[in-house]
Structure formats: C-alpha cells, structure tokens
Chains A and B, each alone.
Chain A
Amino acid sequence: MEQKRVVVVGNGMIGYKFCEKLVSKSDAFLITVFGEEPRRAYDRVHLSEYFNGKTADDLSLSTENWYAERNITLYLDDAVKAIDRDQQTVRSANGHVLSYDFLVIATGSSAFVPDIPGIDKEGVFVYRTIDDLVLIEEYAKRARTGAVMGGGLLGLEAAKALMDLNLKETHVVEFAPRLMPRQIDNRGSEMLQSKLHSIGLKIHLNMGTSSIEGDNCIQYIQFNDGTVLETDMLVISAGIRPRDELAKLCGIETGSRGGILVNEFMQTNDPSVFAIGECALFDHNIYGLIAPGYEMAEVVVSRLCGIEKTFKGFDMSTKLKLIGVDVASFGDPFTTEPDSRTIVFEDTHKGIYKRINISTDGKYLLGGILIGDAEGYNMLLQTVNNKILLPPNPEDMIIGARGNNPQEQQAGVAGLPDEALICSCEGITKGGICSAVADHGCETVDAIKKYTKAGTGCGGCVPMIKDLMVHAMKMKGKYLRNVVCEHFELSRQELYDLIKIHQLKSYDEVLDGLGKGDGCEVCKPLVASLLASIWNDMILRKGNAAAQDSNDRFLANIQKGGSYSVVPRIPGGEITPDKLIVIGEVAKEYNLYTKITGGQRIDMFGAHLSDLPFIWEKLIAAGFESGHAYGKGLRTVKSCVGSTWCRFGLHDSVSFAIRIEERYRGLRAPHKFKSGVSGCIRECAEAQSKDFGIIATERGWNLYVCGNGGGKPQHGLLLATDIDSDTCIRYIDRFLMFYIHTADPLTRTATWLNKMEGGIDYLRNVILNDSLQLAAVWEAEMEVFVKSYECEWKAAVEDPSVRKRFNHFVNSPMEKDSSVKFEEMRGQKKAADWSV
C-alpha cells in the first residue's frame, strides 16, 4: 500500500503525542517532523524541575531511538519557514523541501512579551523552553533579587523557581487586582497572597509597568503610578501568544487575537492542513494546557484513520504545582447567583479557602476553588465532570462529613462510574485503570502508568490512580506488598502490624508465626528493630541479641580492625566540666582515641570488646547513658546556644533541644534520625538538614521535616509555623510514629517523603489536620514509649548473662583479641589500615 505523507511542524508536547498516537493506530503513514528547538520533545509541564536537578534527558518524552525505530524522520534545530499550499510542500530553514498529503501544525505558543520600553535589556527573560532556563540559571548566579511580571499560573511557577535559585528576594508584579485572575476569585487570591507571602514571595497587585530601566542590564521596573521596583532580573510571564506566523504567511485563517482557526476536526480552512495544541484556536479559545492538546492530537489521528471523533471543547480545571501552597480551580469557578448557589469555607488561621458552586436545585456541583488544601480536588472534579448527585449536605465535600472516617475517600473512588475520566491528559477512564490492575496484573502506580499511560501527563491524577489501584486490588482480595526477603512474604508495615497483633516478642516467635525457613541478615535486623520499636524491650534480652546487626548486638559501632567506639549521650551538646573530665579519665585509662563528632558529642574510638562493659560502668556511674550511636534510632539533637547567651537568640534552643533529645532517646526506627534546634533564623544548629529541625521565630517555633545530610543532601520542608513547644512536640510524636509505622527498612525520612504520594502536603494533612485520624493513637504510643525508656548499656552491664557476651574468646574470657592493631598519629592512636 502506498503510504500517505504526513508532515508535522513542531516537536513539542502535542506534536510528539500526535506521532505517538498515529504510529500506535496505523502504519499507513510516512511521518516527518520538524522541530525548531535543538532537542527532542520534552516535558514542558515539569520544566521547573530542571532547576531541581532534572536534566534535559530526564525531561525528554522519548528515548533517543524512538523516532528512528518507528521510521519517523526527525529534523531538529530546523524550523519550517514556508508552506506552499498549492504544491503541498513545506520548506525548512536548512533547505529541506518536503511534500505532504497532510500537514499538522503543532507550533505551540511563545511567551507574550508586552511592548514596553527597555524590555529588551539584558536580564529580562521568558520562561518557556529549556534554553530559557539555562539562561536564567546562569544569570541568577550574579543576581540578588528577581521579579516576575505576571501573577498567573505560569508566573507563580516561575517565581517559585526563582526563589529556589536562592535569590534573596523574589517579587511578583501583576496588572490585575488579584493573582491567577482566570482561575480564582478575590477572596481566594487574598488567601493565596498571604500564603505566598509566608514562603517569602513579595506580591504587587494593580501594577502597570511603564518601562524597564537600567544601563545595559535591567536595574529597576518603572510603574505607571510613579513607583519603582529595584531588581537584578525579570522573567516575563504575561500570557502566551499562539505561533500562527507560518499559517498567516500561507493564507491559512487565523483569529484576530492570534491562533490558527480550526473546526471540530482540528482542520483549518485548508482541509489537508490541521492545527493542534497551543497554536490552535477553537471556538474562540486557545487551550494553554496539556490535556486538551492531547485530545486534539487524538481527534486528528482519528480523522486520518477514518474514525469518527470530534473535539468538544475542554475543561480548564487546574491544580497549581507550587510546592507548599495548594491551589486548584475546577469546572466553573466564578458562577454566582442567580445561576447557582455558593458555599464558602474560610479559615484564615490555617490559610484555607474553599468555594464550591452548586446548581440552584442543590443537585449538582458546577465548579469551585481550593486554596491551602486541595486534597479534595480530584474527587470534586470527578463530581462535576460525571454529574454525580451531591450528598444532602454538599458542604461535607469541602469540610468533611462530621464524624467521618478515613475510608470516606475510598468510598469516593468506588462510587465513580466506570466511564469517569481519571487522567484527562491521556483520556484514561476509571474502567481502564481498574482493568489494568485486575486483568493485566499492574499492581504498582508505575506499572499502571506504563501500561495505560495514565498519570504521565501533568501528573495531577496520580493520587487518584493510587486510590483506584488499591480499590481494584481490594476487589480482587489483594493488597499491596513489598516483601522483606525469602523468609517473610510481608512488607515491613504488615510485619509491624502482625507482630503487634500477635504480641510476638522474639525473632524466633516472629519467624515461626509469620515467616518460613531460618532467617537471614536482611530479616533479622529488620525484625529486631521492629521488636524494639514496638515493645521497647532492652534489645539484648529474650533471645533477640543474635538477631541484631553487629552494632546493636554489642551496643557499639564496630571499627576497622574489630575494635569498638563509645559514644555517650550529650543531650543538646551541653556538658559540664566534671563530665568532660570523666570522659578524659576513661579515655586515658582504656587508651581510647577521642574526637568531637559532627553531632556535638564526643566519640571514644578503639575499645576492645571485652573492655566495653567496664568503660560503660564508669561512664554510667558518672551520670552518662548510651548515645545510641550504633542503633537505627535517635542520634543527636544539635542545638545552638540560643537566647541564654546569644544576642540574636529568640528562645532557649538548648533547653528545647535537651527536652527533645530526652523524649526520643532510644526510640528505634527504620533508619537513624537526627534533629536540631536553632535559636533564630541564622540557623547555627543546621536544623534544616535534619530529619526534623526546629527554628525559633518571634512567635514560637517553625518545624521542618525530612531533611538529610549524607550522600544526597536535602533541605527539610516547612511543616508548621509559629507553634508553641507543646504543639511542636505533639507534631513530632505524630511525625515519628507515622514514619516508624510506614517507612521501608533503612529508609531515612527524606527518602520516605520523596516516595510518598502527595508529598509534604499529604504529610502536613496527616500530621496537622489528622486526616488519617491516627494522631491520638500515635501520641499514646509515644507516651508509652517515653515512659518505658531505660538506658540499654545500664541494663547490659547489670545483667551477667548479657555481660558475658562481651568477651572476645568464649574459652579465654579475659584475653583480648591480639589481632586488633593500632598505629600512632598526632599523639593518639588510630586503627591500622586494612591489610588488603
């Protein structure tokens, strides 16, 4: 069969999607693609992640050979310059002339740059392509302050990106009287403003710009009202301009305000020329979102393959991807009386604003706005799109049924019809997702993404896909698993629950009751750690000793050469001169190397196994206790000196650090965890690099969570602001218990959060709003734990049967291991190097 020639102009998101859809439906076409950018189509929606370390390759929508493998010719860095409609040919910048049977224009849009004097100065950017971001990143290195012109969806995203580039100050300048004027109302905008303000963005509304001033580079923005704003750089995000210049040149009809006019088949006035994506003007609308663009691609593919399908317009519901602030708008957000009734919920304390518009008969949801908490977005959108009858009290949809249970949300997905569109980007329905799970064995979100493509566009539907997956698996009598090893076909979380329910107290009981075989180095320490987390028994009792990792088994870290280290707890880093003397004396007596650690305490290295109980006996007598430097549990709570001495200190950070360290000492967890308390924002205690960190504010404490040092450093994220000490402790109780219950083995809090669907917003909802209704249980569990704490080294030295395990030779108890070798260095000893 003779192949028809299809030429695609533009290798952006929609141009790519068109190719993908066409080759999957038919091989009757010979496809050629021209792209003006130098790289293969990439995920523009997640463009900002380029600043978070994603590379152009990570963002790419296809693999290198994707086009070649499908016999598609791809010309990159080669824009189409002219279309000859009579000859049915296109001509590119590099001189390629190609004839076509069908031409698909997918040229997208460019940032609209208003014609303001000085707009072409250095330091003024747009935010559209990877190349733009490369320029911005480079320039930002020299800049102190930045501004964004435009407070819409993209403008706010660009502003957040500038903040993340560590500019000292970031401003948003908006012409309209509110932010995101197309999506949210005035009250919503006010709430959003105060939220953004609290993360450090400065917002200026009602600002018309008259010029950009500066010598060569921008120095300040001059406003119509005579005021100015000093800034080192400016990103323009004042709207988009459809790229219709090619169409205009060859006489294809365009709209008066731009955009290539198309009918419901995405056909232009020339029936063999189509336009899709952001360059297309359908029914007076330019659709600046990915989902409608994908739908347009589908319509053209159908048309080419002789399938009846039309474009019917598209829902413009959106959720902002800004970190730390939830914003969503769905259906018709603005409709008012007399066409509809409005229900509003406002909580200025927590910064939440929710509005829903319902039909006058109270039966249907028409649209709404969510600020500060967009948890309900997916369900609300489904309720609008599927015309689901509202419950008798529609307000429950935004404030939750009073006396409700956590299953509510589940009942939500279960109640959706099979045709409900879940992923609007890829057009995947609930039925499609459930069938992927039930009939095609997709039992992870990744598997579903791979099989159905749902969730691969803007990603907004991922939480719902997860709910549906759980729902579909439950229907099949299955549940999620991530098993430990060949001896336990259970996840850590399942093991946790079962050990508790069956009251299992030793490794052998657990293996007999829940596992099979004889155990291994993976499940033993894992179970031992769970037993410690759950029962808080001294870890070397009840036959659990031999299941511990070596460091836990000997309550000390084993060193190169086989000696051990001794780390007494020094809460908050505060220590008396008398105690310092004791450490010095003990170290001298047992010939130990001493060093101040990175965790504000003192490590004594090079102890023989058989000396450990004697060393600890002396330390305990002087009032020290185990520092748990060996365990997967609380390490140190670093403190700065705080208000007792420091001229900037706002509160007594040392006292609070000690209180925290003493509360959580000995608590076993999936991995070690650390904390820090700083007395003011100068952050001398580096609290933001800790699993949980606390910084004093004028009004209380800010609590950050899930920071990490180590090989992949990551700053903690702000969980709660201006809270008092008791609230702070309550939140930490919940946070730690949630972590202990649910994290995979050997997963630090940062990694745990990175894997959590919904991220920090979800976590905040669980901890602050008690969305799982487990806070009381967790707090009670923590209280039991705190009360039953005992120093395990004290217990060990006092129990002869435990104590005898610290001999190196079973048949020569007092003899030291002569293979342990030390060398001398700067007047102290060091472990001899590995001999191999």
Chain B
Amino acid sequence: MEMTKQVAWFAACRVEDAVENGGVCVKYHDQQVALFYFTRRDEWYATQNECPHKKQMALSRGLLGAVEDQPKIACPFHKKTFSLKTGECLNGDECAITTYPVRVENGMVYIGFNL
C-alpha cells in the first residue's frame, strides 16, 4: 500500500457490519466506495463502487474470488472482473478501477483517501 502520500482515514463501519467474503457499499461524502472483507484470506479491500463498463454502482454487490493468487471482484451486471490489489480489469480492455487502502482497528474499519 502506498503510504508516502498524506492519507485521511475514514471510519466506514464496524467489522460485524461488513459482509464476510463479500462487499458492502460505503458512502463517503458524495462518493460510493465498495468495501470487501475477504474473510478466507483475512484481507480487506476497498475500490470505487462504480463499474467502469456501464457505469453502474454495483461492484459492492459482486462476487469475490481469486484467479491463481490474485484477489478479484466480478461485477454482478456482466461479470467483468477487476484485481482488488491493482484495480486493473482482468478481462482486457476495460479501464481500471480506483483502489483504496483499508485498516482495521478496535473493531472499526477505516478506508484511506488521499488528501
């Protein structure tokens, strides 16, 4: 995770509000952020909620998974998949999605936004 820039940590929700092995949508000012709790791998990820394919606010409702060891999210609309680590589209030409760092402290989940 990129830590050199100034990051503001936003308190998104409590751990138990997140969906195990799935996603929830977090409202951050006027933005929508998808927050994923990959319980199997004990990993947290956050990305933009909008799927760049048809601009649908949908990624939080997608299916989590992995290809080889790369964690990914599949959009519920047309199953385009995106890497949760790099945000790149794994089906080829579609543009990438933004990813955000996630931190968990004392049962609270925080998403980091660049200042």
Contact = CB atoms under 8 A, between A and B. Distances in A.
Interface stretch (A6-14, A645-653, A807-815): A807-815
A734 interface: no
A16 B67 CA distance: 48
Contacts of A808: 25
B58 A558 contact: yes
A544 B38 CA distance: 14
A427 interface: no
10 contacts: A508-B40, A518-B38, A520-B67, A546-B19, A558-B58, A809-B26, A810-B18, A810-B25, A815-B27, A819-B32
Contacts of B18: 810
A623 to B, nearest CB: 30
B65 A520 contact: yes
Interface stretch (A24-32, A547-555, A688-696, A710-718): A547-555
B63 A520 contact: yes
Given A521-B81, A524-B65, 15 more contacts: A486-B67, A507-B21, A518-B66, A520-B63, A545-B19, A546-B63, A547-B21, A550-B63, A558-B61, A560-B54, A809-B25, A811-B26, A817-B25, A835-B55, A836-B53
Contacts of A519: 40, 64-66
B68 A834 contact: no
A546 B64 contact: yes
Interface in A493-525: 507-508, 511, 517-521, 524-525
B34 to A, nearest CB: 10
B40 A518 contact: yes
A444 to B, nearest CB: 26
Given A518-B41, A524-B63, A547-B63, A834 B26 contact: no
Interface residues of A, number: 37
Interface in A264-278: none
Interface string A554-589: 100010111000000000000000000000000000
A524 B65 CA distance: 9
B74 A520 contact: yes
Contact of B55 (A486, A545, A834): A834
A466 interface: no
Nearest to A809: B27
Nearest to A507: B21
Contacts of A562: 56-58
Q: Helix, strand, loop or mixed for chain B's interface?
A: strand
Given A543-B20, A810-B26, A486 B61 contact: no
Nearest to B73: A521
Query: Which 4 A-B residue pairs are closest in the complex by CB-CB distance?
Result: A546-B22, A550-B76, A520-B65, A521-B74
A805 interface: yes
B13 interface: yes
Contacts of B65: 518-521, 524
B20 A546 contact: yes
A508 B63 contact: no
A836 B55 contact: yes
A521 B79 contact: yes
A817 B59 CA distance: 14
A705 B8 CA distance: 61
Given A810-B13, A811-B13, A549 B63 contact: yes
A465 to B, nearest CB: 36
Interface in A797-828: 805, 808-812, 815, 817, 819-820
Interface in B58-106: 58, 61-69, 71-72, 74, 76-77, 79, 81
Nearest to B39: A508
Contact of A836 (B26, B54, B69, B76): B54
Contacts of B12: 810-811
B21 to A, nearest CB: 5
A551 B76 CA distance: 8
B17 interface: yes
B77 A812 contact: no
A525 B27 contact: no
Most chain B beta-carbon contacts within 10 A, residue among A521, A543, A562, A810: A810
